[in-house]
Structure 1
């Protein structure tokens, strides 16, 4: 019977594990690894150099913190928020004291700035977020929304942390819907000042980083209201704009017209001093309006080179750097978690054939298929982040509208995809390490708690996916209404070929050569996106006629989210395969290609659309599943060199079960025992 055959197959598989006599003189890891067909070994340092063209920055920053072990506590759980905030403040000051200039990076070397955020994520995510609030949000709003006089006035003090600041956008009642913010800035023509007021409790600024303790000033987003001189008492609402507002003196005294409260303990990120702010008639000079996109003169005349919709879009478009930063930091956490999980699972011994040594947990097919796709996606996201940063830099330099729009969509989608994926991966990694993964000292708990909010701030992920879907639908509409097609979405240019089902022979092709062909993988993911786009557009047209645009959108929302994720996965695969082709080392390239294939095949196998659309016949689906199992088996043999190529030093990783020094058999338990207070050998 089928059940008997499966049992016999499993018995034969387990019987292949070498006996204790055969494995004498070898570590158990090496012994178990020999049971698998594997990819050729490669030098992890060679791969590290290919992955990281800013390796010198990593070495310098991590060496700086090695010299300050007091800033690298083993655990953060249970630390009072005031103590954690002071620790983060010291970490930031040490970085600045060593000569690093995050504000200069953000203004002139974007690649270095975002990479710094990834590096600091494994030191303490609270430090990464504090850095982002001070430089990307507060400093970035001055640079990107203000004019040269604002930069001259504030840049140096922001850079040196002499002027800690906040980004006061989110309100108690409104977050993602920025256009509906209620805080008001009314121009007093008599004094040439803006009067900033919180009209009701729902408009209190909420979750504002740096506000509870450090913030001396903020960029406040408020409805700009200007009086009409010839009509007494009449105000013209020009919509939401950004202004600079003082919060505290340099001695920490809260300014008149400002009330601040601490938001208290959070689920994570206790090292960030989030606060809430109420404005009660705070007066600021008219020139405090950040006026790159709109200005108001002494007489109250409002002017902008843009229409209201375009001005608002341009304002928000300048804030995409925060999303790029969150993507980078999230990838840093994912690298750390995958490193710990794979190293521990390669060492942890559990069960085995009768009268034979236990085998590594990673040698179980179920565990390989749980962890190795995480590694594949981690690599894929690493390469795609590089493309996003390069595009962001190009947009900043050229200010080309098409590139800016592309970066807006890509940063929104990749931030949503990366942070959502990492959040799930952290739970998988914790679970894969069993009870020891639950120990605070092994860091999965703090990573999960601190990272969780990444799915919400700088744009809720569901909202960001809708932005991606909306831009795709706009491009689709333009194409089929005869308008010129922007060259941002490759698969739209290939609609005629990629949207059609393949030849039936292709649908049934089960050869490994075909399934691992890059053109098949790329076309498959593009086909999925094109089909979802076509059906989404058709559904929206049908429902809009009956219920209006808003309710039609809501009706189709699950479909639209699938569309956005499919598009992002298509972009990820494109970036991944290009990086594979560019790798100069042939042995490294083979492993990178296997990772890329695993990433794509897993998406094809898991998406029922391919089966329902007859794109993948049942026999082909089974072949894809077998190939996924084979790739996981082959990658198992190089899993450790692949995570070693991330080159995360032990003093930064700080998880005893996942340290590189623990890769000699049993050493992870020595580190673990010592970390919780046992005297070894006692």
Structure 2
């Protein structure tokens, strides 16, 4: 049978089973060094890699030190906190951050890079704290800043910044989440009183899962259908679609205001430190000036005006200003991934299991199966770190320039990277838990709590399935614009142009099995580009085929799996190209070698796992086998530097808080006694 670590040892397999192929016992001088007879990457200084990865590490060190000084603010998963206790802990932690001189809203307004960086720092402290901060500053504060006027900013900024005015982002309803355009809550202008009347017309329109609502929220940005009297004197109201309004919820003493009903959403799978609530409005009156009017305004007579000519453009502009939430979730998810991979790699490097006959046990990270589990996660974690940096930089440029093309690019990139990163991290959390065997199941080692808390990242700020469709829709739009009115042969040329020297049936490419070629960035980048171009081309053909007969909606639905695969392929290509730039920019040769190996592994693993390359005869069978062998070899090489690579994330033990993931020194000397700490966590005297 398998052990608690999921490893089947030679003595358990039966006498006739093959033994593990390991180097002689004499070569195994350290449990943290690989025992297989493969070449290793040159050692590097984790501090040098950390410096290259993180140009704001001083800020992270200060934040980490803040929680070293306040250990009482770090949630202990074994204490079984009630949701009320956890919420109080998060509230106190947020106030300590403010008292320490950090102003998330100031960062968001003036230096978004610092804002997103702070979110990543908080992700391994407590995801509830990160999300609570995001609700207050990115969603509530950000909506006021980005959708309102200068008057709104002057009125609300300081109170939101100092948490004197806790607020909510009331978009999602019981029956509508991602389909924001179909929200039912309404805001009807009463011309005589110069007020909006905000109302929940039916139970399905109750605002649901609203962060900060159950306990703290005193006001909310409420997304509602803006309705005004018909200027032509008709009896029906004119519906101008969904707009944002500031609606007070509670008085300074915490009492609900007239017409506002709030219920606690109760316990959730995770993030119970966030006070999610449900809100029903019954003819709540607010001043006309509480409309956040950057993209549309209504005067005292009820006349509606907007600089944007269509309801669709106004709606798109409104949602476009909210992309910061997706950027923040991407950063936080990367932070969680770093923590989980750190725990799993450190544990796997120290946990002893079986070994050659009459020899000491070996670390489970020396098993090929564990390397194939964890090394691709580590490589992808680095790739997503660099991609997150690209997204943040583009977001900052977009806010500075307001250039329309960049706005569109950031919208698509934030949608794609948020969906891909959060989906990948959630899967990786399960892989890390399994790689740590039974000890990964212990609550004290945090992998279970991280998995539960992070799960919802795949849903809020846009369900991942919906966001990936937005990416493919953008690609199809650009594709059709490029070939509008052109014959089909022109789009065939587009596909061919994406291949250049890597065309299918080119024997020099299709059959080349040399590692020099397989690790050539030109080959890897072109292969991933080919995959994206091929999928885009065939999706366009399928939609063109099914559209006339089924209609656009049903044609899209018939091709939906293709749509999602295209989006993922595009995002993976972007990640790899960003990874390559990071490799080229690293001046330290030892660090660069490890980065290059991880970028190769990232791309080769994708190519290995996609049957399209073989079906298209892009890769011959012998080449496919060579790629699989090379993936195994790269995982083995990276195993030798795995501890240094996770040490470069520089997550201190008091933030990681997982006994099996205690920090070491890259295998260069004595390692921490994880079992001693683990026993102490369980209550044994040691």
TM-score class normalised by the smaller sequence: over 0.9
In the alignment, the residues of structure 2 paired with residue 496 and residue 376 of structure 1 have an alpha-carbon distance, to the nearest angstrom, of 26
Pairing 1:441-480 to 2, within 5 Å after superposition: 441-480=444-483
**3-state SS of the aligned residue for 1:172?**
coil
Q: Which residue of 2 aligns with 1:200?
A: 202
State how far apart, in whole Å, the 2-side matches of 1:144 and 1:555 are: 37
User: Structure 1 pair 621/677, CA: closer, same or farther in 2 (3 Å)?
Assistant: same
| 8 Å contact from structure 2 (residues 422, 458) kept in 1 | yes
Task: State whether structure 2 residue 551 is matched by structure 1 residue 545.
Answer: no
Q: Distance between the aligned counterparts of 1:429 and 1:229, measured in 2?
A: 61
Map 1:188-587 onto structure 2 (within 5 A). 188-228=190-230, 231=233, 233-306=235-308, 307-481=310-484, 494-495=497-498, 497=500, 500-501=503-504, 503-587=506-590
The 3-state SS of whatever aligns with 1:276 is strand
Query: Structure 1's 642 and 182: CA in aligned 2 closer, same or farther, altered over 3 A?
Result: same
Aligned-partner Cα distance in 2 for 1:111–1:665: 35
CA distance in 2, matches of 1:12, 1:226: 76
- The counterpart of 1:18, out of the listed 5, 12, 25, is 25
How far apart are 1:665 and its partner, in Å? 4.7
Deviation of 1:56 after TM superposition, in Å, equals 0.8
User: Any idea what SS the aligned residue of 2:282 has?
Assistant: strand
- Corresponding residue for residue 186 of structure 1: 188
- Separation of aligned partners in 1, 2:502 and 2:512: 19
Paired position in structure 2 for 1:676: 682
| Partner SS state of residue 225, structure 1 | strand
> What's the offset of the Cα at 1:502?
5.7
Tell me the equivalent position of 1:60.
62
Change (3 A) 1:11 1:133: same
Residues 1:138 and 1:85: Cα distance change in structure 2 (over 3 Å): same
Q: CA offsets per residue over residues 404-462 of structure 1, 9 Å max, x none?
A: 00000000000000000000000000000000000000001110000000000000000
- SS state at 2:77 partner: coil
SS in 1 for 2:434: helix
Once the two structures are superposed, what CA deviation does each residue of 1:646-682 show, in whole Å capped at 9, x if it has no partner? 00011000000001159745600011001111011xx
Question: Aligned partners of 2:117, 2:644: CA distance in 1, in Å?
Answer: 22
State how far apart, in whole Å, the 2-side matches of 1:495 and 1:438 are. Answer: 46
Query: Does the CA-based 8 Å contact 1:205-1:276 persist in structure 2?
Result: yes
Give the SS at the match of 1:237.
strand
What is the CA-CA distance between 1:72 and the residue it aligns to? 1.5
In structure 2, the residue matched to 1:643 is: 646
The residue that corresponds to 2:490 in the other structure is: none
Cα distance in structure 1, aligned partners of 2:506 and 2:685: 67
- What is the CA-CA distance between 1:368 and the residue it aligns to? 0.2
Tell me how far apart the structure 2 counterparts of residues 372 and 249 of structure 1 sit (CA, whole Å): 53
Q: Does 1:667 align with 2:667?
A: no
**Aligned position for 2:7:** none
The CA distance in 1 between the partners of 2:266 and 2:254, in whole Å, is 19
Q: 1:212–1:263: 8 Å Cα contact kept in structure 2? A: yes
Q: Deviations over 1:46-89 (max 9, x none)?
A: 00000000011101100011000111133267210000000000
Alpha carbons of structure 1 residues 319 and 512: separation in structure 2 relative to 1, 3 Å:
same
Does 1:629 pair with 2:637?
no
Q: CA deviation at 1:37?
A: 1.9
CA-CA distance at 1:11 after TM superposition? 4.4
Report what 2:141 is aligned to: 139
What do residues 572-602 of structure 1 show as CA deviations (whole Å, max 9, x unaligned)? 0000000000001010000000000000000
C-alpha separation in 1, matches of 2:501 and 2:175: 44
CA displacement at 1:614 relative to structure 2: 0.7
Report the CA distance between 1:527 and its aligned residue: 0.2
How large is the Cα RMSD of the aligned pairs? 1.8
Residue aligning to 1:80: 82
Q: Distance in 2 between matches of 1:499 and 1:155?
A: 55
Unaligned runs of 5+ in 2: 1-14, 487-493
Contact 2:20/2:355 (8 A) holds in 1:
no
Please give the per-residue CA displacement for 1:333-358, whole angstroms capped at 9, x wherever unaligned.
00000000000000000001111000
In the alignment, the residues of structure 2 paired with residue 229 and residue 414 of structure 1 have an alpha-carbon distance, to the nearest angstrom, of: 44
Offset at 1:482?
A: 6.3
Residue 639 of structure 1 deviates from its aligned partner by 0.3
1:20-42 deviation line (CA, Å, top 9, x unaligned): xx65xx44224x45754210000
Note if contact 1:183-1:198 (Cα within 8 Å) is conserved in structure 2. yes
Report the CA distance between 1:17 and its aligned residue.
Answer: 3.8
Provide TM-score, normalisation by structure 2.
0.94
In structure 2, the CA distance between the partners of 1:322 and 1:563, relative to structure 1 (3 Å rule), is same
Asked whether the equivalents of residues 166 and 215 of structure 1 are also in contact (C-alpha less than 8 Å), the reply is yes
Q: Mark the runs of 5 or more structure 1 residues left unpaired by the alignment.
A: 1-6, 484-490
Shift of the 12–259 alpha-carbon distance from structure 1 to 2, 3 Å rule, reads closer
**In 2, are the aligned partners of 1:476 and 1:492 still within 8 Å (CA)?**
no
Which secondary structure does the structure 2 equivalent of 1:29 belong to? coil
Q: Output the TM-score relative to the length of structure 1.
A: 0.95
**1:120/1:128 contact within 8 Å kept:** yes
